[in-house]
Chain A
Amino acid sequence: MEFKRVVGSRRSVRYFETERPVERAKVETILQAARLASRAMNVPWGKGIVAYRHELTQDERDALKTPWAGVEFDLAPVYLLWYHDTDARRVNLTEARYPSVPSGVLQDIAVYGPPHGWSRKYVERVILPEVLTPGLERGPARGGNSDAGVSLAQAYLAAVDEGLGACLVPFDEQGARRVLGAPEYWEPVLALVFGYSVESPEAGGQRPRPPWESVCFDGHARTPFRRDPAVVATLEAAGLIQEPAPIGWRAEEVRALSRGFELPGGEPPPRSA
């Protein structure tokens, strides 16, 4: 699918064809998209566990739920639990298993070099001892990692590109540790739950957003970026900007879906007198 349309079509899908498996090739495509994301020092900060609904008992699914997200784990056939590996830096430095800044490979293959100010000696004598190593003795540290978010986002968009529905939900860390064996040094990010959507593609329309002027700035945090209506029109034609919520028939769709899954919210609205 064309990129802009992928971005525009993405929205949180929460109703899935639960019994329909997602082809393994699509699951791998999603994972490969995550793997190819940009990351600092070429270190794989984002790590994941793919779990399949049908392989888990109800108790195991319940263990993953939080007050925020529960039914999603009952309906989605596949979950990608995504983590920030707080030990990734140490592994990269001490084991040098992967091509990365510490391993010197990026220098060797001329990704960057002296014109950028870099050399092997710089990595050995400055970057490693003065930048990458300090703090390792404190052990894995939590506090999030934006690169884990970058890779997760690419996975999400890839799911949309593969014709799937998906949404990002928090999951219970202790439950995931018990059910899936996630290690303590993996800090939870979010789960991408996905499958074949049974909602309309619009899924109620593109979700409302805060005012543009409060999000996008130009040169200063008090100067909004001027939004050109002509560009908006171009992006509407390209599918990045789509029909906004609320779409008039969404409530009826949701009631029908709720009844189909025997979930609350399926009652028709009271008839007016």
Chain B
Amino acid sequence: MTTQPTVEGARALESYGSVREWQFSFQNFWRTDGPPDSWKAALGRFAEQNGTDPDAIIDEVLKPAPAGEGLLLRTRARRKYVELVDDFERQEGRAAANAVRSFLIHNGIAMTPGILR
């Protein structure tokens, strides 16, 4: 990744509920420590670049919707973030982008990237 993380920056992100959820879910699934600080820093850069914050991203994609419309809204919002993360990958590489994807997935936004071959 292109920018060294700061402990302060990573800790600041932990004030967001969605980042804490990411941490919890990651630890719970992998049975290891949570995502490294460098991943959180990548998330922070992604959010800042897109004028948003971690909780707002999750809310935008998973917000409650009128009955019957939820799936469509989620699909559109999810596609938006898939594309934004793809853009982020072009700038910062797969590892940084996967950090953001990990955050999204652990918060319930399913996605899979193209594979590396």
**Chains A and B touch (C-beta atoms under 8 A apart):** yes
Chain A interfacial positions (CB closer than 8 Å to B): 107, 110, 113-122, 124-126, 129-131, 134
Q: B29 touching A126 by the CB < 8 A rule?
A: no
Q: A121 touching B74 by the CB < 8 A rule?
A: no
A110 to B30, CA, bound (A): 9
B interface, size bucket: 10 to 19
Q: B112 touching A107 by the CB < 8 A rule?
A: no
A71 to B34, CA, bound (A): 65
Q: B106 touching A121 by the CB < 8 A rule?
A: yes
Residue of A at shortest CB range from B68? A134
Neighbouring A residues of B28 by C-beta, 8 Å: 120
Classify the secondary structure of B's interface with A: helix
A210 to B34, CA, bound (A): 58
Chain B interfacial positions (CB closer than 8 Å to A): 21, 25-26, 28-29, 62, 68, 70-71, 74, 102, 105-112
Q: Given A116-B112, A121-B21, check contact A129 B70 (CB 8 Å).
A: yes
A121 contact from B71, B107, B111, B112, Cβ within 8 A:
B107
11 more CB-based (< 8 A) A-B contacts, given A117-B111, A121-B106: A114-B102, A117-B112, A118-B110, A119-B25, A119-B105, A119-B110, A122-B108, A122-B109, A126-B62, A130-B70, A131-B71
A31 to B110, CA, bound (A): 36
Q: Given A126-B108, A130-B74, check contact A121 B25 (CB 8 Å).
A: yes
Residue of A at shortest CB range from B113? A117
A114 contact from B21, B70, B71, B105, Cβ within 8 A:
B105
A-B contact list, 22 entries, CB within 8 Å = A107-B29, A110-B29, A114-B26, A114-B102, A114-B105, A115-B112, A116-B112, A117-B105, A117-B112, A119-B29, A119-B105, A119-B107, A119-B110, A120-B29, A121-B25, A121-B107, A122-B108, A125-B108, A126-B110, A129-B70, A130-B70, A134-B68
